[in-house]
Copies of this chain bind each other. A is one copy, B any other.
């Protein structure tokens, strides 16, 4: 397992080029060096196929060029997308990402933060659920979707506008009476604004609406029962549904199928998040799309920005609407590749 062929070091390059160690360092870091020296060093680097040892660099600089990402997992499609785009944004800046999968466990969240703080990372990006998370002053931290106190910036999509947009879309699509479905407590902080935005949108468009908020642990049947209760003569009493996540919209579609309600003929459905079935294929449902790539870029930018003077407490990025088959648009999108 131990590498037998040792990697060339700066010392080797210096010897090869016939210059001093410090000169090689300067060339590597782009500091001013006389042309004749630069060329000799560059040739030596080429010849030996030298690469800097970033761990020695990190040791010296007391920087690790690593950022921790605290996220429950990478399996949930929304988390998976965030992970991908944040990793890409970090790699672009020559930073590495330490993936910390917390499994929604508040204890693990805190443990990872301690670990990160003590030594190993230059900053943390966290999508966390522990309401009493302790983050030391001197550890740069950017939160996703959760306000975590005065001087920790939070990046989110414009959840309020998203809720509003959903209501307006349903109104535009001809709905008269709609429902808002939300699953339990797992939606902390920012995403809660979807409800307020939706109500606001309904009000301004004269849509009447009902609310159903499921607590954690509410069973599938209980949810189904809510829908059953709102049926009269084999039809739902509402003609549009806004689900607070695509995941919930997916489950709702299952339930509606069992109740012999057709989507979108009998009831139109809008979800939230912009999850696609296989990453690049169709949306699971018509949905309010979060700008995940932009959110990722913003997190990294905020975390690594040098002038830490201005710390905006909350950054809301714009959402968009996307058709996904569960609404009755005029035009239906074109075909796709297999």
Contact = CB atoms under 8 A, between A and B. Distances in A.
Q: Which of A1, A118, A251, A282 has the most CB of B within 10 A?
A: A1
Interface stretch (A34-42, A79-87, A158-166): A79-87
A46 interface: no
B119 A281 contact: no
Nearest to A83: B74
A214 B337 CA distance: 11
A281 B75 contact: no
A284 B279 contact: no
A98 B120 CA distance: 14
A223 B62 CA distance: 56
Nearest to A276: B75
B1 A219 contact: no
A204 interface: no
B97 A99 contact: yes
A337 B217 contact: yes
A202 B246 CA distance: 38
Q: Which of A84, A115, A251 has the most CB of B within 10 A?
A: A84
A59 B61 CA distance: 13
Contacts of A81: 75
**Copies of this chain:** 2
Interface string A13-54: 000000000000000000000000000000000000101111
A200 interface: no
Nearest to A64: B55
A232 interface: no
Interface in A67-83: 73-77, 80-81, 83
A335 B250 CA distance: 15
Contacts of A337: 217-220
Interface stretch (A3-11, A126-134, A146-154, A234-242): A3-11
Contact of A87 (B54, B74, B248, B304): B74
Interface of A: 1-7, 49, 51-56, 58-59, 62, 64, 73-77, 80-81, 83-84, 87-88, 91, 96-101, 115, 118-120, 122, 138, 140, 183-184, 214, 217-221, 223, 246-248, 250-251, 254, 275, 277-282, 284, 304, 306, 308, 335-338
